[in-house]
Amino acid sequence: MYRTFKILIADDDPGFLSALSVRLKSQGFDVITASDSYNALAKAKNENPDVMLLDVNMPAGDGFSVQERMKGDDGTNTIPVIYLTGDKSERLDEIAEELGAVALFHKPIRMSILIQAIHAVITPRAA
C-alpha cells in the first residue's frame, strides 16, 4: 500500500509558503502550512507530520524555539526538522546543528536538494 508523507511548512512569507507548498504537493506530499511559530507547534502536535520545514525568523517566536518546545513534548520530539532561512549568518548553521536539525537551507532554495533531504529523512522513518 502506498503511503503519503506529511510535511508541515512554517514560514511567514505567504508567497514563499504557497510556492513551496505547490512544489511539494506536485511531488506527492501531503502539505500542511503555518504562518507563525505558535501555529507551527500546534499543528505539529495535531497533525504529527513526517518532517517539518521551519523558517528561522517568524512571528510569535523563531523556528529554533519551536524545535526546542517540540523536544519537550513526547508527541513531537521525534519529528525531524529542516530549517529554511533568508539570513546568511553562519551562526544559524551552528544553532541548527546544536538543536539536532536535519539541515538548514538558505533561501533561495534549490528544490532538488531540498527534496533529497526530505527523502533522506522520511525513508528511514517509513521502514
Give 66-85 pLDDT, tens digit per residue: 999 999 889 899 999 999 99
The residue type found at 82 is: I
Q: What CATH superfamily is the domain 38-108?
A: Response regulator (3.40.50.2300)
Residue 11 has phi, psi (to 5 degrees) of: -155, 140
Angle at 118 between CA 79 and CA 83, to 5 degrees: 65
Distance CA 117, CA 112 (A): 9
Q: What is the pLDDT of residue 29?
A: 96
- Percent of the chain exceeding pLDDT 70 equals 95
Distance CA 6, CA 18 (A): 16
Average pLDDT over residues 25-43: 96
Name the band, by pLDDT with cuts 50, 70 and 90, for residue 25.
very high
